[in-house]
Amino acid sequence: MIKFSDKQLKIPNLMKPVYLATVGMSKFGRAFPETRTEELCIQALTDAADFVNMTPAELKQYIHTCYYGHFADHFGDQLLGEAVIHDRLGLDPLGNIGVKTGGATGGSAMWEAVKAVASGYSDCALALGWERMDEVPTDEGNHLISAAADKDWETPLGHIYTGYYAVMAQRYWKVFGKEEDSFRRTMAEVSVKNHGYARMNPHAQAPMKITVDDVIKSPIVADPLRVLDCCLMSVGSACGIVCDEKTAYEITDNPLRIYIAAGSHTLRVADRRDMTIPLLPNETPNQYDNLGKEFPGADRYPGFTGFLAARMAAYYAYRMAGVNDPTEDLDVVELHDAFTISDIQTYEDIGIRPYGQGRDYIESGDAYVINPNNNKPGALPSNPSGGLIGCMHAVGATGLMQIAEIGYHIWNRWDDIHEPQAKWDAFGREKPSDWTSLQVNGAKRGLAISHAGVGSHVTCTILMDPNKILKED
Amino acid sequence: MPKTEEEKGFVDVVNGRYKPKGKFHISEANQPIFNKDTGKLAGVTNPRDMTYIHSYGGEAVFFESLGKGKLMATRCDNDNCETKGSIYQPFRIFCPDCLRRATVIDMTEIAQKTAKIHSFIVTHRSGAFNSLPKPIKFINIEFEGVVTILMSVLAVGDPAIGKRIVPIFNTKAPTYTITDLRFVPEGTLESELPEGFTF
Ligand SMILES: [Zn+2]
């Protein structure tokens, strides 16, 4: 589709307000050779119960339907893995369904849960996701991941998904980054920031104190991408429970409002056709008329440099939630930093910066909890969890981890989750002696982007303190 | 260990059904996985040797034509379609807008005269079952008058955005997969092409 009808551009409407009551996460790691997936899922749901001072049995009493995010079941040679987990969580005979949208699976599971509550079908719904990619040899794992590309037109070319994505990075690097050393360093700063934030997160898999030069000198994957530009491959689980107003306040005194929307785009990047840029509320008609002059080669949209699915998810979600300008209206974001450069592309797709100016979000210091340029709080901190680069990318759980992390900030309970020595000990991880709180002080609204591969599916979740909503119901 | 000729699985279509012959999997016993530090059982392996049987359907003509040195595409010729005239490469059986069957066209000459690199990536990595020589030089190709940008690989030389390239085809021993199509810089000599490939 290259033109949209008014019906297709309708702003999504939830028939009643939906609230996020609680969230939970397991430990995340590269491999868990002596742990079954269900053990991690139970860890996440138990964590969600602990968060609202309930036993898991008490919390389960509220759940009416379940939405499970688990993408790559061919890794486990187990179909209906959702039914296995549902049974082990002791939630039979409740209705449940599995959701599979690649890297966006976690966000998509939440999309389904929110709609179930908004429609009145359920008063309380569980969205829980997990992934494990550690149970095959690495090269076979690469093949299995490449099966998420087109079986006939892409997978036979190398059986390596990174190659299908990286051509987009190359185009952005050449057209918008202009192959400048300064842009390369800005890309690296994303990795330095996110690995650094992961140091404060006991759940995180890749805490690292590194420099820009460490990133630039790390082993090459596909120029300009180096190992430290890339996200992790992880095992773990995360969940969130959404409710109508009455049920939410039975579970907790301070649930958060949740809005969520989704977009999509061609599975093969090769199938993208040119179109005009759908504008976000903080953009103006004709704003991009000279984009191709300013950045030679940028005359095609979305071309290889924009993620239309992310743009559309934000297009719907911002108007749904009353967000005009993300930097003004939001306090913290968790973005899908699959690669340092795709993180920068996303800043533009979701309107944190206009197309062509994504790098400024990092360079200005706005993306940091503490702006390194002036030592004041950053305007819109990004990925204090460590993101996919520093914390985890357990595909089906990632989007739910991001939502949980945004929730912790707005609940002002980020420290409860990330500070306790007992948790560092239980996870067998050493708490750094310079551990620092990354709580975004006074956070009232936040956003999480859950994104699949080359951009086939994206969800945009917005959480708000119910006293700080931007749009009357 | 590669399978012997008689261990290989072949499939024909006979009377409208798939008819497999030969051997399709070799069963292999599972093995226990022990923790070397504790001596305790952690799990088991589940060996699998599977063959998928897959229909190209309406795209079969595209894959068959590669072995004949032709690059086929499709074009919507529906007078009532607002994107009538759009040429698709990748080949699409149906127009994505009007969902009417598109017309199959031979675009070999368009490719020979106008193919240009839109983006590229060079990687030494690959997954299991890869058959391409490494490093793999992925390229995305713009063609004049085509609304999409095909992905393929560059078989000779170094990729650069804007570089003029021409298609080459595995006509001598076609595999009937997308790997039968590759590209080389304009001006490449026939003697420089990978084995089995012709212009
Ligand atoms: Zn048509």
Position with higher pLDDT, A44 vs B8? A44
Q: Does B96 touch chain A (CB under 8 A)?
A: yes
Tell whether ipTM is more than 0.90.
yes
Chain B residues in contact with A169 by the CB 8 A cut-off are 121
Mean pLDDT, range A299-304, rounded to an integer: 92
In this prediction, residues B65-78 reach a mean pLDDT of: 98
Tell me if A63 sits within 8 A of A125, measured CB to CB: yes
Tell me: the pLDDT tens digits for B44-58?
Answer: 999 988 899 999 999
Report whether pLDDT(A404) > 80.
yes
Cross-chain CB nearest to A157 (options B82, B118, B179): B179
- Phi/psi of residue A428, nearest 5 degrees: 65, 35
pTM of the predicted model as reported, rounded to 2 decimal places: 0.96
Residue A64 banded pLDDT, cuts 50, 70, 90: very high
Contact call for A270 and B123, based on CB within 8 A: no
d(Cα A239, Cα A405) in Å, to the nearest integer? 11
pLDDT of residue A280 exceeding 70, the answer is yes
pLDDT at A237 over 90: yes
CA B146 to ligand 1 centroid distance, Å: 14
Range scoring the smallest mean pLDDT among A193-202, A227-236, B3-12, B33-42: B3-12
CB A301 within 8 A of CB A133: no
Taking 90 as the threshold, does the pLDDT of residue A454 lie above it?
A: yes
CB A460 within 8 A of CB A260: yes
Q: What pLDDT does residue B36 have?
A: 96
Res B5 pLDDT > 80: no
Distance of CA A40 to the CA centre of its chain: 19
Nearest to B128 among A139, A163, A167 (CB): A139
Between A101-110, A264-273, B2-11, the lowest mean confidence (pLDDT) is in B2-11
Stretch A141-146: mean pLDDT: 94
Convert the pLDDT of each residue in B83-102 to its tens digit: 999 999 999 999 999 999 99
Q: What does the pLDDT read at residue B24?
A: 85
* Band (A1; pLDDT cuts 50, 70, 90): low
**pLDDT interval class at B8 (50, 70, 90):** confident
Contact B136/A152, CB-based, under 8 Å? no
Place of tokens 């009145």: A120
Q: pLDDT-based confidence at B9, cuts 50/70/90?
A: confident
Selection from B120, B105, B63 nearest residue A152 by Cα:
B63
- Give pLDDT tens digits for A71-101: 999 998 999 999 999 999 999 999 999 999 9
Determine what percent of chain B is predicted with pLDDT higher than 70. 99
pLDDT tens per residue, range B141-184: 999 999 999 999 999 999 999 999 999 999 999 999 999 999 99
- Separation CA A403–CA A329 (nearest Å): 17
Helix (H), strand (E) at residue A189: helix A181-198
For every residue of A375-428, DSSP letters joined together read SSB-SS-B-TT-HHHHT---HHHHHHHHHHHHHHHHTT-HHHHH--HHHHHHTT
Task: Write down the pLDDT at residue B1.
Answer: 63
**How far is residue A94's CA from residue A63's CA, in Å, rounded to a whole number?**
8
Task: Please state, in angstroms and as integers, the Cα–Cα distance from residue A423 to each residue in A394, A403, A429, A435, following that order.
Answer: 20, 20, 9, 14
Q: Indicate the average pLDDT of chain A.
A: 96
Give tens-digit pLDDT for B76-86.
999 999 999 99
Alpha-carbon dihedral sign for residues A80, A84, A89, A94: positive
Q: B48 CB near a chain A CB, below 8 Å?
A: yes
Count of residues in chain A? 473
Average pLDDT across chain B, whole number: 95
Distance CA B136, CA B125 (A): 8
Q: In the numeric block, which tokens belong to residue A105?
A: 């699976």
pLDDT tens, position by position, A314-324: 999 999 999 99
| Beta carbons within 10 angstroms of residue A65's beta carbon | 19
CB contact under 8 A, A33 and B126: no
Which residues in A lie closer than 8 A to residue B126 (C-beta atoms)? 139, 142, 158-160
Q: What is the pLDDT of residues A21-59, one digit of tens each?
A: 999 999 999 999 999 999 999 999 999 999 999 999 999
CB B193 within 8 A of CB B155: yes
Q: Quick one: pLDDT band at residue B25, thresholds 50, 70, 90?
A: confident
Report how far residue A174's alpha carbon sits from residue A304's, in angstroms, rounded to the nearest whole number: 11
**Which residue on chain B is closest to A220 by alpha carbon?**
B123
Cβ neighbours of residue A462 closer than 8 Å, sequence gap 6 or more: A258, A259, A260, A317, A318, A320, A321, A323, A330, A445, A446, A447
Q: What's the confidence (pLDDT) of residue B50?
A: 86
Q: How far is the CA of A303 from the centre of ligand 1 (A)?
A: 21
Question: A371-390, pLDDT tens digit by residue?
Answer: 999 999 999 999 999 999 99
Q: The tokens of A191 are what? A: 């990795």
Contact between residue A200 and residue A438 where contact means Cβ atoms under 8 Å apart = yes
Give yes or no for residue B6 having a pLDDT over 80: no
